[in-house]
Structure 1
């Protein structure tokens, strides 16, 4: 199994970065994982802005040479891991800009007759590790589970990815947030995951 980790947080002394370290630690101890690559969107200087004009059209994003490297990473990976905070009930703009550009028509999906497209990323799986300041049940009770619906149904299922696991951790700024226990839970998952 080949894993691509997409890390989206601007601070390397953060809890999000500690989760990244635990994913790497667990992955390095798992004999089922052949290779693990990390894409740090902030360190990379990834530009999340969409630009469309007479020279750059939305329908041609799958051909954009500036995105070749990122498309190759997604194609290479069996499992894609996203690590990010939940801000305002959804992932950060940096990650959404990456998704807007990479999960494009004729790369991640293809339009066909009927209501839904053909997902072109079938066979891959996804893990979302997200942190938030608010309580763990906040997105479920107050936002009708909007974060998970956005990520699983509106994005991953749309492009053919059916296997999606969430680690959605709340109360992460609280001294009673059980951060160490949650970090170990993620590490343990990656030590043992088979596919």
Structure 2
């Protein structure tokens, strides 16, 4: 199982980075994970800004030369892991800018003329690991589960990815947030998963 981890947080002293390290540690100890690659969007200085004009058209984004290596990463991966904080009820703008550009028509999906497109990323699976200051049930009861709906239905299911697992960790700035327990949960998960039951 080839695993691509996409990390989105500007601070390597953050709790998000601690979760990233646990993903890597568990993956390195898992015999089912044959290779792991990490894309740190801030360290990469990924440009999240979309630019469309008379010379650069949206329909050509699927073959944008500057994005070729990122498309190759997605094609290569069996599992894609996203590690990020929840800010204002949704992922950081940096990650959303990556999504806007990478999950393009002609690469991630193909219009068929029907109600839904044909997803072109079938067979892959996704894990989303997110942290937030507020309580874990805040997105469910206050925001109508907007984060999961956005990521699962509006994005991953749309492009053909049906296996989507979420770890939403709340109270992460609280002394009672059980940070170590949650970090170890991520470590154990990645140490034990395999392609069939992931």
Work out whether the TM-score is over 0.5: yes
Structure 1 stretches (4+) deviating beyond 3 angstroms?
A: none
**Which consecutive unaligned segments of at least 5 residues does structure 2 have?**
none
What corresponds to 1:129 in structure 2? 129
CA RMSD of aligned residues (A): 0.3
Counterparts of 1:102 and 1:169, CA distance in 2 = 26
| 1:13-52 map, 5 Å | 13-52=13-52
SS at match of 2:55: coil
What corresponds to 1:168 in structure 2? 168
Counterparts of 1:55 and 1:78, CA distance in 2 = 34
CA deviations over 1:97-149 (Å, ceiling 9, x no partner): 00000000000000002100000000000000000000000000000000000
What corresponds to 2:114 in structure 1? 114
**Which consecutive unaligned segments of at least 5 residues does structure 1 have?**
none
Counterparts of 2:183 and 2:168, CA distance in 1 = 12
SS at match of 1:133: coil
What corresponds to 2:7 in structure 1? 7
- Give the TM-score, by structure 2 length: 0.98
- Give the TM-score, by structure 1 length: 1.00
What corresponds to 2:102 in structure 1? 102
SS at match of 1:44: coil
